[in-house]
Structure 1
Amino acid sequence: MRQRVMRVAVVAVLVALLLLATPLALGIQTSFFADERAELERAARSAAVHVPPRFVVGDRVELPLHERGTDLGVYDLSGRLRDGSGPRTADSVVRAAQDGVVTRGRGDHQMVVAVPISVEGRVIGVVRASSGTPQVWHRIILAWLALAGVALVALATAVVVARRQARTLSAPLEALSAKAAAVADGDLTARAEGSAIAEIDQVARIQNTMVEHLTRWLDHARHFTSNASHQLRTPLAGLQLGLEAAAAGPDAGLRAAVTEALEQVRHLQRTVDEVLRLARATPRPGGPTAARPAAELVEDVECRWHDRFAAEGRRLSVGVEPGAGGLPIPDRTAEQILDVLLDNALRHGRGTAEVAVREMGGAVAVDVSDEGSLKLGPQTVFERGATTSRAGSGIGLTLAREMAEAAGGRLTLARTAPTTFTLLLPVAEPPPSHE
């Protein structure tokens, strides 16, 4: 990743430098030659001013000082060099200037400028100025070397900046890749961290969301077996007791025992349906579900649990406040949660267990209490495995809270002494009537 980013950046800088330096180098060459021609013309014009009118009759000419390396000569109309330096006879550039126009040209590795000498509108001679092109090329090459040095400095700066930018871009991606690899290796706690790049941050957020959803799905799948075994244990125990009573009792009680066993089988079927609904990867709180009046539901729960509490020498009491018994609540969810709470009271509590139903402004509150006390805190008690003992698996209260939340309700520990749990469920909407 870093090498690719650096390669792209360096190539882009090289292309930009070539596109910029090539015309600039050509411009330097053209400018230097143009400057040299202009300098030669200035020298020739300056010399032409110093040529006296009696030049035509043989007077000498005192040429002005000029730059070293420049040849400056005065020619008469016959093409003979009268003074200065240059070819002994006029070349084509000098002959062209005899027509009264400034002439520029090139000779043998030279640049030549010829300026006519005019007196009263008549050309009496020509001043020729020339210099060697190698001198101009020397200056051009020095300028090109300076330009190349600047380009190398720009390229080096670009490499440094490209390395820094490559590190800035690749470091978050490498960290994101490492977190993804950790998740692939089974570490579902790995989360991608933020960076200074918005696009990479968005990818990191999406990955974290994906891992969180995956974690929840795996938790549902991982807990399904333990949830199912926990919830099926109670109705299976009741079914076993009923069948044992039918096998040991007289024929007169056989029908009642079988009826009780059938009721336990129906309850077992409802338990299986509820556990499977809860095991869905994405439960939808508040979805459509069967509902029954709260009073009718707790009466059925009392019937199932009365004998089991009596067998332990304990009493189960149910109370419904006026106005709360007719409110419909999700029956399967409420049944499963109450089964967990009563099983917990039977195994870990003592004394009389009470179930109280009351109305709370659009919701139904069900309090399940006993005369025991709880040492765990309101949050710890609902952690999976927090109450594990030889008499239980430690997942019942966790499962009960999950079922309550899946139904849009809430299960809390109201008091630790005496132990009291409060189940708050929304009142279910009555099904539409068909007239």
Structure 2
Amino acid sequence: MRKRVVRVAVVAVLVALVLLATPLAVGIQQSFFADERAELERAALAAAVRVGPKFAVGDRVELPVPERDARLGVYDRSGRLRDGTGPRTADPVSRRAAAGVVARGHSGRELVVAVPVSSSERIIGVVRASARTQGVWRRVVLAWLGLVGTALVALATGVLVARRQARTLTAPLESLSITAQAVAGGDMTARAEGSAIAEIDQVARTQNTMVEHLTRLLEHERRFSANASHQLRTSLAGLQLGLEAAAGEPGADLRAAVEEGLAQSRHLQRTVDEVLRLARAAPGAYVPTTSRPASEVIEGVERRWHGTFAAQGRRLALGIEPGSEAMRIPDRIAEQILDVLLDNARRHGRGAVEVTVREVSGAVAVDVTDEGSLALDPRTVFERGATTSRSGSGIGLTLAREMAEAAGGRLTLARTAPTTFTLLLSAAEPPPSLG
């Protein structure tokens, strides 16, 4: 593009120089020839003053010495050269002057000016002044060369200015192109720099806004994919463990195993629906759709996870304090969060796990405690990737806190030894009765 800008500027300068220099060159030529004719006319008039009345009867004339290479001659009425230099007989220009007017013209390769000489109101002769056109053309060509030199200097200056302006115009665009290529290559941190050119600066700001929007969109998609895969993997793990236990136990009640598998698949469907709703909801716009008594929600969670902990030789205990069993909580979001906390206790905790439900100032608090101790910095435990290990992805606790906050609740680390997480949810209003 830089070459194109320079080319356009150079063409524009050339066109301007041609349009300006052509009439100027013609004007120089005409001016030089007009000056030469004027000079010849002045020389002829100066010579005519020296022609006296006795010229008609044969008196000689002393002609002045002309400037440069001009020639002067005096002709009588018959057209014969009497004094000076020139053709022996009068040329057409001199014959026109014999009629009483100043005549100008060409004779061969000469410029000719003829002035009539009169005495007693009678034409007695003609003074002819001439100069070769070669000398005039020499001066014209020299002037043209000077004009060409000036034009070349102007063209060189135009090229330098065009190159500088091209760099000024194209450098921000090249920077924009490099930034766009970096973004296309996956570098979402690349940002276009500002420019002194308002239009290009506006394009840079627009591109940066677009990249920021794409970055947020991609981050949202990545978080959704990670969240969905984490929750689905947790539910599928429970379903797989239950089916494997039923398949590996001789004389197992297959009907009960199938019913448990159906319950797990229904929970898996609810997990998919809830993760999608959470991902599609705008910040602060998530509204739980269903609620159940806290006791029912906790008992359902205990049923799903009891076999998983039993397979590891660990105990899962459930405790519901009086007054909290009938309080309603958003069931689907609570199930998702408790699944994350119990999966975290299974992977990273030790010993028995206890889930306790209690009432706190009109809200419901659910404590999940195991017999292990937290090895991480409590300030970073909810950061995405903080607990990444061979057995986890490091996003579970982060996702659980996001879901709690989306439902208007709060998830905190209550104690580090034994490890205790507390989920606090506002009690939901009971559904209206149909009667």
Q: Would you say same fold, with TM above 0.5?
A: yes
2:153 alignment counterpart: 153
1:105-124 equivalences under 5 Å are 105-119=105-119, 121-124=121-124
1:104 Cα offset (Å): 0.8
Q: Give me the whole-angstrom Cα distance separating, in 1, the residues matched to 2:182 and 2:227.
A: 29
Secondary structure of the residue that 1:89 maps to in structure 2? coil
1:153 Cα offset (Å): 1.5
1:91 Cα offset (Å): 1.4
Q: Give me the whole-angstrom Cα distance separating, in 1, the residues matched to 2:334 and 2:63.
A: 121
TM-score normalised by structure 1 residue count: 0.73
Q: Give me the whole-angstrom Cα distance separating, in 1, the residues matched to 2:66 and 2:378.
A: 106
1:40-79 equivalences under 5 Å are 40-79=40-79
Secondary structure of the residue that 1:193 maps to in structure 2? coil
Secondary structure of the residue that 2:382 maps to in structure 1? helix
Does the CA contact (< 8 Å) of 2:194 and 2:205 recur in 1?
no
Between 1:38-47 and 1:305-314, the stretch displaced more is 305-314
- TM-aligned CA distance change 1:198 to 1:412, over 3 Å: farther
1:382 alignment counterpart: 383
1:128 alignment counterpart: 128
Secondary structure of the residue that 1:150 maps to in structure 2? helix
Q: Give me the whole-angstrom Cα distance separating, in 1, the residues matched to 2:86 and 2:422.
A: 119
Give, as a single letter, the amino acid of the residue that structure 2 aligns with 1:75. Answer: Y
Residue 85, structure 1, aligned to residue 85, structure 2? yes
Give, as a single letter, the amino acid of the residue that structure 1 aligns with 2:156. Answer: A
Q: Give me the whole-angstrom Cα distance separating, in 2, the residues matched to 1:137 and 1:67.
A: 17
- TM-aligned CA distance change 1:425 to 1:48, over 3 Å: farther
1:372-411 equivalences under 5 Å are 375-376=376-377, 378=379, 381-384=382-385, 386-400=386-400
Does the CA contact (< 8 Å) of 1:73 and 1:82 recur in 2?
yes
Residue 143, structure 1, aligned to residue 125, structure 2? no
1:160 Cα offset (Å): 2.5
Give, as a single letter, the amino acid of the residue that structure 2 aligns with 1:9. Answer: A
- TM-aligned CA distance change 1:300 to 1:143, over 3 Å: farther
Between 1:100-109 and 1:186-195, the stretch displaced more is 186-195
Secondary structure of the residue that 2:66 maps to in structure 1? coil
Residue 302, structure 1, aligned to residue 298, structure 2? yes
Residue 164, structure 1, aligned to residue 164, structure 2? yes
Give, as a single letter, the amino acid of the residue that structure 1 aligns with 2:66. Answer: H
Give, as a single letter, the amino acid of the residue that structure 1 aligns with 2:289. Answer: A
1:194 alignment counterpart: 193
- Give a deviation string over 1:146-187, Cα, whole Å, max 9, x none: 111112122222232333333344444444444444455x43
Give, as a single letter, the amino acid of the residue that structure 1 aligns with 2:20. Answer: L
Does the CA contact (< 8 Å) of 1:375 and 1:416 recur in 2?
no
- Give a deviation string over 1:252-292, Cα, whole Å, max 9, x none: x99999877655433221102233456x7x76446676523
1:137 Cα offset (Å): 0.5
- Give a deviation string over 1:211-270, Cα, whole Å, max 9, x none: 55555565566666653342134444555687769999x99x999998776554332211
Does the CA contact (< 8 Å) of 1:409 and 1:426 recur in 2?
yes
2:36 alignment counterpart: 36
Q: Give me the whole-angstrom Cα distance separating, in 1, the residues matched to 2:28 and 2:424.
A: 88
- TM-aligned CA distance change 1:58 to 1:106, over 3 Å: same
Q: Give me the whole-angstrom Cα distance separating, in 2, the residues matched to 1:393 and 1:427.
A: 31
Q: Give me the whole-angstrom Cα distance separating, in 2, the residues matched to 1:78 and 1:426.
A: 134
Q: Give me the whole-angstrom Cα distance separating, in 2, the residues matched to 1:366 and 1:47.
A: 129
- Give a deviation string over 1:39-86, Cα, whole Å, max 9, x none: 222222233334334433444434344312111222232223333322
- TM-aligned CA distance change 1:172 to 1:403, over 3 Å: farther
Secondary structure of the residue that 1:45 maps to in structure 2? helix
Does the CA contact (< 8 Å) of 2:182 and 2:190 recur in 1?
no
Give, as a single letter, the amino acid of the residue that structure 2 aligns with 1:191. Answer: A
Q: Give me the whole-angstrom Cα distance separating, in 2, the residues matched to 1:55 and 1:131.
A: 25
Q: Give me the whole-angstrom Cα distance separating, in 2, the residues matched to 1:189 and 1:73.
A: 93
Q: Give me the whole-angstrom Cα distance separating, in 1, the residues matched to 2:268 and 2:397.
A: 19
Gaps of 5+ in 1: none
Secondary structure of the residue that 1:56 maps to in structure 2? helix
Between 1:112-121 and 1:28-37, the stretch displaced more is 112-121
Q: Give me the whole-angstrom Cα distance separating, in 2, the residues matched to 1:426 and 1:154.
A: 81
CA RMSD of aligned residues (A): 4.9
One of 290, 293, 297 as aligned partner of 1:292? 290
- TM-aligned CA distance change 1:254 to 1:145, over 3 Å: closer
Secondary structure of the residue that 1:381 maps to in structure 2? coil
Does the CA contact (< 8 Å) of 2:333 and 2:407 recur in 1?
no
Q: Give me the whole-angstrom Cα distance separating, in 2, the residues matched to 1:428 and 1:75.
A: 132
Q: Give me the whole-angstrom Cα distance separating, in 2, the residues matched to 1:85 and 1:223.
A: 108
1:332 Cα offset (Å): 4.2
1:261-276 equivalences under 5 Å are 263-276=263-276
Q: Give me the whole-angstrom Cα distance separating, in 1, the residues matched to 2:321 and 2:111.
A: 121
Gaps of 5+ in 2: none
Does the CA contact (< 8 Å) of 2:175 and 2:193 recur in 1?
no
Q: Give me the whole-angstrom Cα distance separating, in 1, the residues matched to 2:122 and 2:137.
A: 38
- TM-aligned CA distance change 1:425 to 1:129, over 3 Å: farther
TM-score normalised by structure 2 residue count: 0.73
1:302 Cα offset (Å): 2.1
- Give a deviation string over 1:361-393, Cα, whole Å, max 9, x none: xxx997867696574364673223x20235533
- TM-aligned CA distance change 1:355 to 1:198, over 3 Å: farther
2:339 alignment counterpart: 339
Does the CA contact (< 8 Å) of 1:404 and 1:425 recur in 2?
yes
